[in-house]
Amino acid sequence: MVLTRLYEKKLLDLPDIPPTREDLEVVGVFNPGAVLAGDEVVLLVRVAERPRETRPGFTGLPRWTPAGAIEIDWVPDAELEPVDPRVVRRKSDGLIRLTFTSHLRVVRCGDGRGVVEVSGTRFDPASELEEYGVEDPRITILGGRTYFTYVAVSRHGAATALAVTDDFRGFTRLGTIFCSENKDVVLFPERVAGGYVALHRPTPASAFCRPEMWIARSPDLVHWGKHDVLHGGGADWETGRVGAGPPPVRVDEGWLEIYHGSRRSEVPGEVGTYSTGLLLLDADHPSRILRRTPHSVFEPTAEFERRGFVPNVVFPTGIVDTGPTYLVYYGAADTCTGVVEFSKDEVFGELGL
């Protein structure tokens, strides 16, 4: 059963965020990390941009330089082939490039149901490992400090890095924690058995299995090991991709994880529908799944979820506990940011609790 939307809003759209430069245009404001910081909800939202200029016969591919500037590589269309709306492939060597680049922007949301301020504070790419952009932050408070994972995209692939902030005005990078190809890394908000725990999504080039979500442990948040498979996409709605959504939430029965899956599309160049399911993990042994919804519980139905840069996508990346409900923040159609409110009773009911 699909969860009842007690509240739904398109929270951020393209006009809400200015581009980095006048010669760029914003094509997406989506996939935000979310946290309750003091008495307000704060988002770290991904802002995707591409060149505004068009040149007949050429495609402009943006990248960040080590000096912190954006340069555009104009490549003849004859040398490229489209993969999907986000990616092109070079015919000469089969390597891919993104048609856009991303940075992160701080947004303050008051009680979480609207935007109070789009801050000028940014988290920009800052190294060769981030030259194609920084994407999809997930925020967790640990030991009184605010950590966030993010995807660092470059010619070396899509890796996951870690950073920390105390005020959302300054950031300290802690480096790459999962090398490419790995995305959707979320940290548990408490130590388990004396160590830190994360969910992650390896994306191997060899398709020996259906998509899988893994679990790993660390003594210090930087060095990760003890990797194990947590869940492989078995239902038809999760045959294309499967991975963590927001960081897990501690509940009486264990750990609640709202995760995403996508249906594999049979149409070349088309990205399959992204939906959402629920997992309940054991409190002391989170590699054990206690309950799982075999069906999706949150699907793209609103117009802004069904139409956009990548149609038919709801991609949850942040969660805030209000007491009787959860506010879930998500990317819609890889274009805008939405917030939806679900009853805890209904969420737990879907897990048979």
Residue 2 located in a structural domain: no
**Residue range(s) defining the domain that contains residue 245:** 7-350
Residue 51 belongs to a domain:
yes
Q: How confident is the model at residue 279 (pLDDT cuts 50, 70, 90)?
A: very high
Task: For the beta carbon of residue 203, count every other beta carbon within 10 angstroms.
Answer: 15
Beta-bridged to residue 89, according to DSSP, are: 81, 96
Three-state SS string across 166-198, please? CCCCCCEEEEEEECCCEEEEEECCCCECCEEEE
Position 49 confidence tier, pLDDT thresholds 50, 70, 90: very high
Gyration radius (Cα) of the chain, Å: 19
Mean pLDDT over 239-255 rounds to: 96
Residue carrying the six token digits 């008051």: 110
What percent of the chain is modeled with pLDDT above 90?
88
- d(CA 300, CA 10) in angstroms, rounded, equals 13
Cα–Cα distance measured from residue 3 to residue 95, given in angstroms and rounded to the nearest whole number: 40
Select from 139, 152, 232 the least CA-distant residue to 186: 139
Count structural domains, the chain. 1
Please answer whether residues 191 and 218 qualify as being in contact, where contact means their C-beta atoms are separated by less than 8 angstroms. Answer: no
Contact at 8 Å (CB) between 107 and 117? yes
Mean pLDDT for 259-280 is 86
> Per DSSP, what are the bridge partners of residue 9?
339
The distance from CA 46 to its chain's CA centroid, rounded to whole angstroms, is 9
CB 289 within 8 A of CB 296: no
Q: Residue 72 corresponds to which tokens in the numbers above?
A: 């555009």
- Domain membership flag for residue 1: no
CA 44/CA 104 separation, integer angstroms: 6
Averaged pLDDT for residues 327-346: 97
Asked if residue 235 belongs to a domain, the reply is yes
What pLDDT does 268 receive?
Answer: 66
Q: Are 137 and 104 in contact (CB under 8 A)?
A: yes
Whether 34 has a pLDDT exceeding 90, the answer reads yes
Is there a contact between 149 and 45 (Cβ–Cβ < 8 Å)? no
274: pLDDT strictly greater than 70: yes
Q: What CATH number is given to the structural domain containing 11?
A: 2.115.10.20
As a whole-number percent, the residues of the chain with pLDDT over 70 amount to: 99
The closest alpha carbon to 241, from 161, 320, 181, 301, belongs to 181
For residue 264, the model assigns a pLDDT of: 82
CA–CA gap between residue 82 and residue 297 (Å, rounded): 32
Q: Average pLDDT, whole number, for the chain?
A: 95
What tokens were used for 330?
A: 């998500």
Whether 62 is in a domain gets the answer yes
Within a domain: residue 304?
yes
Nearest residue to 183 (alpha-carbon basis) of 164, 163, 203? 203
| Average pLDDT score over residue span 162-177 | 96
Q: Quick check: 271 pLDDT over 90? A: no
- What would the mean pLDDT of 313-322 be, rounded to a whole number? 97
- Residues 290-300: what's their mean pLDDT? 96
Check if the beta carbon of residue 258 is closer than 8 Å to that of residue 328.
yes
Top pLDDT among 205 and 230 is at: 230
pLDDT at 70: 96
What is the 3-class SS of the chain, one letter each residue? CCCCCCEEEEEECHHHCCCCCCCEEEEEEEEEEEEEECCEEEEEEEEEEEECCCCCCEEEEEEECCCCCEEEEEEEHHHEEEEECCEEEECCCCCEEECCEEEEEEEECCCCCCCCEEEEEEECCCCHHHCCEEEEEEEEEECCEEEEEEEEEECCEEEEEEEEECCCCCCEEEEEEECCCEEEEEECCCCECCEEEEEEEECCCCCCCCCEEEEEEECCCCCCEEEEEEEECCCHHHCCEEEECCCCEEECCEEEEEEEEECCCCCCCCCCCEEEEEEEECCCCCCCEEEECCCCCECCCCHHHHCCCCCCEEEEEEEEECCCEEEEEEEECCCEEEEEEEEHHHHHHHCCC
pLDDT tens-digit series, residues 63-118: 999 888 999 999 999 999 999 878 999 999 999 999 999 999 999 999 999 999 99
Q: What is the mean pLDDT of residues 248-271?
A: 88
